[in-house]
Amino acid sequence: MQKILVIAYYWPPAGGPGVQRWLKFTKYLPEFGFSPIVYVPENPSYPIIDEKLVGEVPKGVKILKQPIKEPYAWASLLSKRKTKTISSGIIKEKNPSFMEKLLLWIRGNFFIPDARKLWVSPSMEYLAKVIADEGIKTVITTGPPHSLHLIGLGLKKRYAIQWIADFRDPWTTIGYHKKLRLTSYAKRKHKKLEQEVLVSADKIVVTSQTTKKEFEAITDKPIKVITNGFDEDLKPTTQDTNFTISHIGSLLTGRNPIGLWQALAELVQENKDFGNTLRIQLAGVVGEEVLKSIHEFGLDTYLNQMGYLSHDQVLEVQQKSQVLLLLEIDSEETKGIIPGKLFEYLNAKRPILAIGPEDWEAGTMVTTAQAGAFFLHADVASLKRVLLDWFNTYQQGELQINSIDVEQYHRRALTHSLAKFI
């Protein structure tokens, strides 16, 4: 068994999709000849906690931990609520308060590439002995937070190792960068660090073809697309009796599907049966602007805010829902964003309603897999048409899909692909 060192920030009991990728890779890597040693923070400031994920950590995997200085913990002394929302990715676009502007400016310009940068130097000191004692030849860093790639960069400069940088999201082109109120200096520094990481890493892993193409313009190093995936073998279950349309995960301002709310509002008025059975289920953090839109379209009585759900609860909701909602910001910059929930949606085998930008990679995957339908945000007429069609099929008890080629996204198959790339 070849030992590899995996450097990650999100790890159980962290909740959310970011933790799933390497939790599952470490589960299956031993099947392909690799023994992962995982290095994570000892005292992280996670915005979401899911204690049940602790039980999914593979037995026998060696976990190393070192303390981290968390600026978000310090910032919470100024405003605990606003700090928590910013750290979980909620950036208010309309009428932000002075405190929100201040926290964003500090986050964007004093902590480059991100608020976990203070973990870089202590980690390099600690891992020097680990690399020597364990005979580590391969180090893998996964981001965001992209500061973890700076740990890999430092280790690469000092030791004869193979360094693989795994990008779960892009770096400088991700949507929230524009909201961080970056100075010209901060923008240049981000670009410089991104280029240095991409040029210095031996190999690069990304989660979408769009990100691969973007990085190929910066580096000539080998780049492999390994998407996120699903792991569970689900048992047949009974669907909801209501016509439930469910969204899992954070639903923030940029993803607010105005066209969908309009379509639903019109269908409720035009079709009494539709209104009697419609339920909109939102599991996870929901932005204020989203809730305001739902209210303005008169859909409050159909809304069920479920709050944060544990992973096993998420799986149950996905299987039971009549329709699963997949959303992305209508922007050129988001074409390559493939939400991790897509793969569990595919595994749930329920119709997926994907709404996003033109040429959205995730939307194309939905249609290619014959797993649902993909529309642009403003296409209200088409949204109404497909929803009414699915509703009529639901009334007949026959709302099902027969998706194809979904097994390629099983975590074992994805890990096999990663093992061959290593």
| pLDDT tens figures, 269-320 | 999 999 999 999 999 989 999 999 999 999 999 999 999 898 889 999 999 9
Q: Give the least confident one: 34-38, 46-50, 265-269, 314-318.
A: 46-50
Q: How confident is the model at residue 105 (pLDDT cuts 50, 70, 90)?
A: low
Confidence check: pLDDT of 81 > 80:
no
Confidence check: pLDDT of 163 > 70:
yes
Confidence check: pLDDT of 145 > 60:
yes
As a whole number of angstroms, the distance between CA 144 and CA 169 comes to: 7
- Looking at 111-239, list the stretches that DSSP marks H as alpha helix, in order from N- to C-terminal side: 120-134, 147-158, 184-200, 209-216
**Average pLDDT over every residue of 242-261:** 93
As a whole number of angstroms, the distance between CA 66 and CA 44 comes to: 10
**Average pLDDT over every residue of 113-137:** 95
Q: Give the least confident one: 12-16, 109-113, 202-206, 367-371.
A: 109-113
- Residue 399, pLDDT score: 96
**Average pLDDT over every residue of 144-162:** 97
Mention every residue, 6+ apart, whose C-beta is less than 8 A from residue 55: none
Mention every residue, 6+ apart, whose C-beta is less than 8 A from residue 12: 19, 23, 50, 51, 53, 54, 56, 57
Regarding predicted confidence, which is higher, 222 or 334? 222
Q: How confident is the model at residue 176 (pLDDT cuts 50, 70, 90)?
A: low
**Average pLDDT over every residue of 87-110:** 63
- Residue 30, pLDDT score: 97
As a whole number of angstroms, the distance between CA 248 and CA 286 comes to: 10
The burial class, CB within 10 Å (0-12 / 13-18 / 19+), for 151 is buried
Q: How confident is the model at residue 98 (pLDDT cuts 50, 70, 90)?
A: low
CB 183 within 8 A of CB 112: no
What fold characterizes domain 243-395? Rossmann fold (3.40.50)
> Domain map of the chain by residue range?
2-226, 243-395
Regarding predicted confidence, which is higher, 373 or 285? 373
- Residue 90, pLDDT score: 46
Confidence check: pLDDT of 8 > 50:
yes
- Residue 299, pLDDT score: 98
CB 148 within 8 A of CB 176: no
**Average pLDDT over every residue of 94-119:** 76
CB 388 within 8 A of CB 365: no
Q: How confident is the model at residue 23 (pLDDT cuts 50, 70, 90)?
A: very high
Regarding predicted confidence, which is higher, 304 or 47? 304
- Residue 278, pLDDT score: 98
Confidence check: pLDDT of 89 > 90:
no
* % of the chain residues with pLDDT over 90: 75
Supply the CATH classification number for the domain 2-226: 3.40.50.2000
Termini Cα distance of the chain: 13
**Average pLDDT over every residue of 261-270:** 98
Name the amino acid, one letter, at 339. Answer: P
**Average pLDDT over every residue of 405-418:** 97
